[in-house]
Amino acid sequence: MTRLVQKHAWVLGLLVLLMVLLGITKLIQPSFGATGLESLARAALPFAFATAAMAIVVIVGGIDLSIASMMAVCGVTAAVLMQSMGAVPAIIITLGVGTAMGAINGALIVVTKVPDIVVTLAMLFVWEGVALLILSTPGGNVTDAMQGIIAGSILPGLPMALVVMAVAIALVWMPVRRSKIGLSIYAVGSDELAAFRSGVSVGWTKVVAYALCGLLAAMGGMSLIMLTGIGEPVPGPYLLASVAAVVLGGVVLGGGRGGLLGPIIAVFILRIIRTILTLAAVDPNVTTIVEGVIMVAVVMLGAIVTYRGVRA
């Protein structure tokens, strides 16, 4: 038990911090309860998918700056397709589109050998343009049944949005985590050269990691249209937020260490901080500044820790 606690000390610490922040929220707003948790889970849903997607590419030793743009493409694709076909075919096609976009990002990085930050920055604009070609203005249609998936709670204090998020991410990550490709992702992130000498196909592993990133980005895009009821071609503020949550969640920016649970908890911590500031009647502009400062500080701290680890 002691070893288990020590192994997951950071994640447990994040859980304690989340509980403390929820307690503070309850003190500020005594009426905060099941409805408040439901609203929090729904607001955190797209951020959670973006963070899970980013975590995988960071673990493999990369980064994807096109996360938000891929989410926009998948959101408008699903919204448009639902007007001409049922929800199920639209979801399947959208998941395929997201996976393909992620695989394209990974293949470009592997084939060109251009740094991932440069390739994905360029693809950010490419995918943003694709989203605008599909839907130049907010529109499309989302079925009531699909919107209802994340509404309400299964049990008091257990929002449907949280359950949907947990199940969807687990279905993607759990089969991969302990498989050969999952071990390869961690090996490449830890030491690419050592992984290559051990017989790991580094290029293929990176392509798969980016494809998984695209798949989760597609889920994030669909969660957006579930919340709004329409497709939005303009990317949302998910890039820096996802990087901050990944670092706060214990994933090392250099790759090879971390998981998805810590970053997901970190998403809720960042969201509840915004809720606390809002309930405390802090000016919205000041709230945005505080959020930005927290995100930048977390990312900078993660970069410093990574740099010291490399020097050591």
Q: Show me where the domains of the chain are located.
A: 34-269
Which range has the worst mean pLDDT, 52-56, 175-179, 215-219, 299-303? 299-303
pLDDT of residue 303: 63
pLDDT tens per residue, range 6-44: 667 778 888 998 999 999 998 888 888 888 888 889 999
CA 211 to chain centroid, in Å, comes to: 14
Q: What is the DSSP string of 38-67?
A: HHHHHHHHHHHHHHHHHHHHHHTT---TTH
Looking at residue 29, the DSSP 8-state letter turns out to be -
pLDDT of residue 147: 82
pLDDT tens per residue, range 66-117: 999 999 999 999 999 988 887 889 999 999 999 999 999 999 999 999 999 9
Q: What is the mean pLDDT of the chain?
A: 88
pTM comes to: 0.92
Q: Cβ(194)–Cβ(44) under 8 Å?
A: no
pLDDT tens per residue, range 107-158: 999 999 999 999 999 999 999 999 999 998 888 888 778 888 888 778 777 8
The closest alpha carbon to 58, from 224, 237, 248, 194, belongs to 248
